[in-house]
Amino acid sequence: MHILRRHKRHLIILLITVLFAVFLIRYNQIDRVGLYDTEGKTFEKARVVDIVEDNETESGNQIGNQIVSLELLTGDYKGNTVEAVSSSSYLYGAHCEVGMRVIAEVNESDDSLYVTVFSQDRTWILYAIVFLFLVTLCIIGGRQGFNSAIALVFTFVCIVFLFLPMIYRGISPVLAAAAVAVLTTFVTMYLIGGLSSKSITSMIGTVAGVGISAVLAVVFGKIAGISGYNVSDIEQLEYVGQMTNVRIGELLYAGILISALGAVMDVAMSVASTISEIHFRNPQLSRKELFTSGIRVGKDMMGTMSNTLILAFTGSSINTLVFMYVYGYGIVQITNMYSIGIEIIQGIASTMGVILTVPIVSVISAWHLKCSFGSSLTKK
């Protein structure tokens, strides 16, 4: 009994985790509509065993296709050696060398195989990069870093196995994004700060800040005449919308809500932690003094976090900016391009959410800490 009481919190967390995992497994049992014919087509791992016909010229350029021999390492034809075509395209194919690991697209039809090289096999490379990041986070951050890694994995799981199935089932992408934002915020703040005053106030502040970003994005879009149907890949999305229950018009705003979550969460926790620490060191400070301290700390963060968001959105549209510069687009044309308008709305709406999170968290923290309940949580 003593052991049970001692580990009661961990047992509850384990039970909730198991129940949530079972829910996700059942929720992801969806019969998805086949948007294109995949019968007889598989993607398998393979190894290049010979270069039958190279496409490299004397100058070192690749023209046309390579003809290579591949040993299939997975699938129904595992162990077989087949001839394959490798394109010199930048998006598909690979410049094959003997011993190189690749992903082969195997098409089976009428007892014959047609194999092409889809890409270099970089599966384990990407796994290693992610693993290196998580290990670095745990080593530098210690226990907090480990909890942050768990929170990051949880967020990824929620987006892939909860958010995407929700919008596929016809639920509003904005509502789905809001639900995932609230859930991941609660779990992340609990893992990082436990059940404390700073965690509670940062949770409320994060939800409020992200909500403000979403509302502002919708308002700005209405005023500017921009909607979720003005994105660059709308033709493919229209087909998806016709064949499934996905509400493609709301995907833009759902994306803005999710993209703002990380920055808003960071600011909310930083301001709440600072005010909580100040109150712990000097409990005699009034609500007004605590609020002023939070605003002062928040002012230092506003500039850096605003730059972070604006530069992140700018980086995602760098190709468009290069095209505009090289082709000498005029200012009137640039300011009225849908792609530029969307990036501006995304950047400004997200940044406004970050900025307004500072006074919201400051007010809530100052009020909460001066209450008897908040003060008792601060001591934990």
Domain boundaries, the chain: 1-30, 41-121, 172-378
For the chain, the distance separating the N- and C-terminal CA atoms, rounded to the nearest angstrom, is: 24
For all residues of the chain together, what is the average pLDDT?
85
Please classify residue 22 by burial: count the beta carbons closer than 10 Å to its beta carbon, then call 0-12 exposed, 13-18 middle and 19+ buried: exposed
Residue 117, token pair as written in the block: 């090289």
Q: Specify the higher pLDDT residue, 304 or 272.
A: 272
Residue 352, token pair as written in the block: 């406004």
Look up the CATH architecture of domain 172-378: Up-down Bundle (1.20)
Residue 213, token pair as written in the block: 């970003």
Residue length, the chain? 380
Amino acid at site 213: S
Q: Note the pLDDT of residue 2.
A: 53
Contact 35, 99 (CB under 8 A): no
Q: Note the pLDDT of residue 127.
A: 94
Q: Note the pLDDT of residue 373.
A: 46
Amino acid at site 327: Y
Q: Which CATH class is domain 41-121?
A: mainly beta
Q: What is the pTM of this model?
A: 0.82
pLDDT tens digits along 131-187 = 999 999 999 988 888 888 898 999 999 999 999 999 999 999 999 999 999 999 888
Cα 74 versus chain centre, distance: 30
Contact 66, 96 (CB under 8 A): yes
Rounded to whole angstroms, the Cα distance separating 50 from 102 reads: 13
